[in-house]
Amino acid sequence: MNIYRALGSIHANFLKNGDLHTTVMHNTYDKFAKNSSAEDVAFMNYGYHSLDVSEESPVLDPKDEIHRYPIQLYHKAVSGIDLEGKALLEVGSGRGGGANTIKKYLNVESIVGIDLSGEAVNLANRDFGGEGIQFEEGNAYSLPFDDNSFDVVLNVESSHCYTQFGNFLSEVQRVLRPGGHFMYTDFRITKDIMNVRNHLNATDLEIVLYEDISSNVVKALDLDTYRRLEMMERTNFSPMEKKKLYYMSGVKGTAMYRDFVLGVRTYYRYILKKTG
Ligand SMILES: C[S@@+](CC[C@H](N)C(=O)[O-])C[C@H]1O[C@@H](n2cnc3c(N)ncnc32)[C@H](O)[C@@H]1O
């Protein structure tokens, strides 16, 4: 892409999003969608692996084994509620692998994924769209859905990108039906964990569960490091961009990995319920 087209796309996204940070996220994930294979980045999260031998790992289709750890994060994120017959909205659905996994393994009735990146949404519809599963371009701060339209809202490793976290939570509360659940997982610098809790406390959603799953994420990164390194090599990024990708990948040896091990960053999961 030449410099004028790149600037044009940043400008168009800025007009759409209204702030610079969200625009940078939009462009980053559009670019990622264009420069990596669908198979490689159907998932864009750090993964999860159980440390408890009595916790059973999900049985997967052999062709999904390659994505076992990111898939396990999705299974963990929705564990604790029954999805059968439910209408689910995923905010920040990325390339659609997570929504697909939930539709395929967990008996949900319907699932809609929304994501800021139009490029990612197009690929998600191409690879996973079908009956009861579709993807739309949209922003977490202003969800394009009626009040009380979903039984479950899911958000996996996306909210750390948001500049308007409070608006996002108000929107989650608005689109959830009474009795519905917000299944929420992400990471933060540990000293900011209380900010997340304060934002959640400011909503009418009831906190049903909070878990620190950092050690499980570290375990998954340990087990998935080689696949991630090979995947980065296969992207069409420049050497400088690959360096940035390496940092973001969280593999063993990166500052991100070290932060999780040392507790500088915390990976957490919440279940919240709309009571009223
Ligand atoms: C790290 S990826 C995770 C994707 C997916 N949840 C997964 O685990 O594979 C973060 C995603 O959040 C999306 N995102 C970032 N800011 C957003 C916003 N304001 N509204 C909707 N999606 C957003 C990005 O485009 C990206 O696809």
Domain boundaries, the chain: 3-274
Q: Among 161, 169, 175, 249, name the best residue to mutate to test ligand 1's pocket (greatest count of ligand atoms within 8 A of Cβ).
A: 161
Which of 46, 64, 115 to probe ligand 1 with, by most ligand atoms within 8 A of CB? 115
Question: What letter represents residue 149's amino acid?
Answer: S
Instruction: Report which protein residue has its CA nearest ligand 1's atom 7.
Output: 44
For residue 240, what pLDDT is reported? Answer: 83
For ligand 1, mutation pick of 16, 24, 25, 159 (most atoms within 8 Å of CB): 25
Size (the chain), residues:
276
| The predicted structure's pLDDT at residue 38 | 67
The residues with which 135 forms a beta bridge, in sequence order, are 113
List, for the chain, all residue ranges whose pLDDT scores fall below the cut of 50.
Answer: none
Q: Give the C-alpha separation, 84 to 95, whole Å.
A: 23
pTM of full prediction above 0.95: no
- In 3D space, the residue among 89, 198, 214, 240 whose CA is nearest the CA of residue 152 turns out to be 89
* pLDDT tens digits for range 199-229: 999 999 999 999 999 999 999 999 999 999 9
- Which numeric CATH code is attached to 3-274? 3.40.50.150
Atom of ligand 1 nearest to the CA of 29: 25
Beta carbon of 43 within 6 Å of any ligand 1 atom: yes
pLDDT at 3: 65
From the CB of 133, is ligand 1 less than 6 Å away? no
Of all protein residues, the one whose alpha carbon is nearest to atom 4 of ligand 1 is 94
Which token pair is 171?
């929107």
Token pair belonging to 199: 């934002």
- How many whole angstroms separate alpha carbon 19 and alpha carbon 239? 28
According to DSSP, the residues that pair with 108 across neighbouring strands are 84
